[in-house]
Amino acid sequence: MMLTMTHIATDIPVDIQLDLVEQSFAKDKNPETLNNSWDKLCESIFQRTGYDIPGNFELETLGGNPCH
């Protein structure tokens, strides 16, 4: 599953292929765990790629579907 984002300051697009654990965080729709899963997803991506998503990137698509 691909996460497509745009860096806010530079307008540079970034595509990140999510691993299986990150995909499970991204697919969480439970209102009680959704925010925690998002935090874990962002931390995992940061540890793996160095991209610090919150406040730095505009989310475009997840798995080809628009992010709302």
**Residue-wise pLDDT tens digits, 18-33:** 999 999 999 999 999 9
Cβ contacts of 19 within 8 Å, gap of 6 or more? 44, 48
Q: CA-CA distance, 16 to 45, in Å (whole number)?
A: 8
Q: How confident is the model at residue 65 (pLDDT cuts 50, 70, 90)?
A: very high
Work out the mean pLDDT of the chain and round it to a whole number: 96
